[in-house]
Amino acid sequence: MQVHQERKLLVTGGAGFLGTHLVRKLQEKGYVNIVLPLEEKCDLRKEENIIELLQKEQPDYIIHLAAIVGGIGANQKRPGTFFYDNIIMGVQLMEQARIYGVKKFITVGTICAYPKYTPVPFKEEDLWGGYPEETNAPYGLAKKMLLVQGQAYREQYKFNAVYPLLVNLYGPGDNFDPQSSHVIPALIKKCSDAIDAGDDHITIWGTGRASREFIYVEDAAEALILVLECYNNPDPVNIGTGKEITIKDLVDKIARHCGFEGEIRWDSTKPDGQPRRCLDTAKAREEFGFVARTDFDEGLKKTIEYYRNRPDR
């Protein structure tokens, strides 16, 4: 399917972290007809709002980024919210997109959909090999059901639904709220606040032995544009760097870049989450030529600089 840049593109979550970077890069590439439904004006959990939106805008393509997301603590506190809000937004939006004749629907999936004990590196065909890690299973399963829906709609209705799976994002514009942030912004804030307060130590959840993979937000945005323009297959496709780092090494790296020289203490009564996370990214490279370009240390430095320059810090 050929994508025409003058056609209308609806991006849910377009004012969020990834959405802001994606919309800017789309505009740089010549996309001039982008619709961004704002959460406060269009609650996608309500079907009537979706119907009104699609009747009014009649988009040709949809990139569904809107999601309720957070770190381990947020997932543990609100598992019902993370399940219901994410599944209801996606299910209803895709159904109405099908009814209104949308030409391509991209659901942005999550690495949390993979089983807790997945062979490393994670291959797309391993997605159904077991139950996700318990602390974020409701979120991961809600998002994974949208893959099932998209494949079912493709089979029955010839609906062009595709499903890229993203690893954890980081970069300028990230969420630094300690109640809901992911690990990199949480660590940057923790180290920076400790420096400002003159604290001699910080305390980190878990043991530090778990590993994670991260992709710089601008690289993720570029990958999604390639998915929009080049990928039309029913199978999920991993979007990441293919490189993992332990949480202990990540903490050491962020502390060094922030300039924090105090003690790092580990609270092993708190969960590590999934033991390891690292994607096999061969399919994205083979199918549409995506390779993440941003060096991890450079990306971290830009993210730290962004946080330090925030006017509300």
CB-based contacts of 210, cutoff 8 Å, min separation 6:
246, 247, 272, 273, 274, 275, 276
Q: Which of 31, 139, 153, 163 is catalytic?
A: 139
Reply yes or no on whether 139 is catalytic.
yes
Write the burial class of residue 99 (CB in 10 Å: 0-12 exposed, 13-18 middle, 19+ buried): exposed
At residue 12, the 3 state secondary structure works out as strand
Please, which residues have CB within 8 angstroms of residue 87's CB and are 6 or more apart in sequence? 142, 143, 145, 146
Which residues are paired to 137 by β-bridges? Answer: none
Is 110 within 8 Å of 238 (Cβ atoms)? Answer: no
Q: Which residues are catalytic?
A: 139
